Amino acid sequence: MRVETSAPAVAGQGVVVVGAGSGIGEACALLLARRGASVVCVDRDAAAADRTASSAVAEGGRAWGWHADVTDAASVAEAFAAAEEHLRQVHAVVNCAGVTGPLGLRSHEVSLPDFDHVVAINLRGALVVTQCAVPYMLKHGYGRIAHVASIAGKEGNPGMVAYSSTKAAIIGMVKAQGKEYAEDGITINALAPAVIRTAFLDTQPEETLRYMTDKIPMRRMGSVLEAAQMLAWMVSPECSFTTGFTFDLSGGRATY
């Protein structure tokens, strides 16, 4: 048997990263560009999207910034039309747009407008991203989509009912979508990270951080690079026989 070994083949691929302005999305956009992908960096924060794209270009990569808000389907459709023009083919999409919503409230205390806001971004927004991406992929008979769920969607985080519900729904959404496009050359998967160290967490007290890592067998947070590396592989041609699945990234916390 001959087994080919090569670096994950994202070189030459056209990738749209939604939520590329900071955190995991920024790290993923930069990593993909470093590995030779052409990347359209989309975010509701236009300046942040441009900043990520400029950093990628400064490192010698090919990248463009684009403003879109996943709660506004027309703006996402425009982003994909622009992406197809820049990239010539949208091979892959990584969707990192997400918000936690209010923290520390029990369900009876949560305001419905706040709940709806989290649903509009985390869940409806993820559907909008899939809806806008798939027609371009069907045309070519090829595509990779990765959404970011969370350990909160598997286990439920108290005080985060909207976040936990939407992340559980993403896990269900990719199961359905994976089967819908399984014969079209398009895979749709999710990543479920436990806590990942982003700039936001640098501002939190040490006790809070310890509380977060206590349930993780590796006793540490994940890094944005670790998340980016898995996402980059999930949207590469190498990840070819898995769809509708939620990959774990939890330092051993979730073994299912």
Ligand X SMILES: NC(=O)c1ccc[n+]([C@@H]2O[C@H](COP(=O)([O-])OP(=O)(O)OC[C@H]3O[C@@H](n4cnc5c(N)ncnc54)[C@H](O)[C@@H]3O)[C@@H](O)[C@H]2O)c1
Q: Which positions are catalytic? A: 163
SS (H, E, C) 147-160: EECCHHHHHCCCCC
Decide whether 9 or 105 has the Cβ nearer to ligand X: 105
47: tokens are 């300046």
Per-residue binding letters, 182-201, with ligand X (x by CB under 6 A): -----------x-xx-x---
What angle is formed at CA 110 by the lines to CA 106 and CA 116, rounded to 5 degrees?
135
The region of 22-30, 83-91, 102-110, 235-243 touching ligand X under the rule CB under 6 A is 22-30
CB closer to ligand X out of 61 and 125: 125
Q: What is the number of alpha carbons within 13 Å of residue 75 lying toward its C-beta?
A: 14
Please answer whether residues 133 and 141 qualify as being in contact, where contact means their C-beta atoms are separated by less than 8 angstroms: no
In angstroms, what is the minimal distance from the CB of 192 to ligand X?
7
The correct pick among 9, 45, 138, 229 for binding ligand X (CB under 6 A) is 45
Q: How far is the CB of 67 from ligand X (least distance, A)?
A: 9
Stretch that binds ligand X, among 32-40, 68-76, 130-138, 231-239 (CB under 6 A): 68-76
Which of 25, 143, 244, 251 is the binder for ligand X (CB under 6 A)? 25
- Only one of the segments 97-105, 106-114, 202-210, 236-244 lies at the binding site for ligand X (rule: CB under 6 A); that segment is 97-105
**CA–CA dist 96, 144 (Å, integer):** 14
Inter-residue contact 14 to 36 (CB < 8 Å): no
Window contacting ligand X (CB under 6 A); options: 65-73, 77-85, 106-114, 135-143: 65-73
By the rule CB under 6 A, 148 interacts with ligand X: yes
Told to check if 253 binds ligand X by CB under 6 A, we report no
- Is residue 71 within 8 Å of residue 99, measured between CB atoms? no
Among 13, 16, 17, 23, binds ligand X (CB under 6 A): 23
Residue 121 as a binder of ligand X (CB under 6 A): the answer is: yes
Handedness of CA 142, 146, 147, 149 (dihedral sign): positive
Query: To the nearest whole angstrom, how small is the minimum distance from the Cβ of residue 141 to ligand X?
Result: 28
Exposure pattern of 174-190 as b/e (b: 16+ CB <10 Å)?
Answer: bbebbeebeeeebbbbb
Q: For residue 35, which of 13, 5, 65, 64 has the smallest C-alpha distance?
A: 13
Residues in 159-178 that interact with ligand X by CB under 6 A:
none
Q: By CB under 6 A, tell whether 65 contacts ligand X.
A: no
- How distant, in Å, are the alpha carbons of 39, 98, 147, 249 from that of 157? 33, 16, 19, 16
> What number of other Cβ atoms are within 10 A of residue 6's Cβ?
7
- Interacting residues toward ligand X by CB under 6 A: 19, 21-25, 43-45, 48, 69-71, 96-99, 121, 125, 148, 150, 193, 195-196, 198
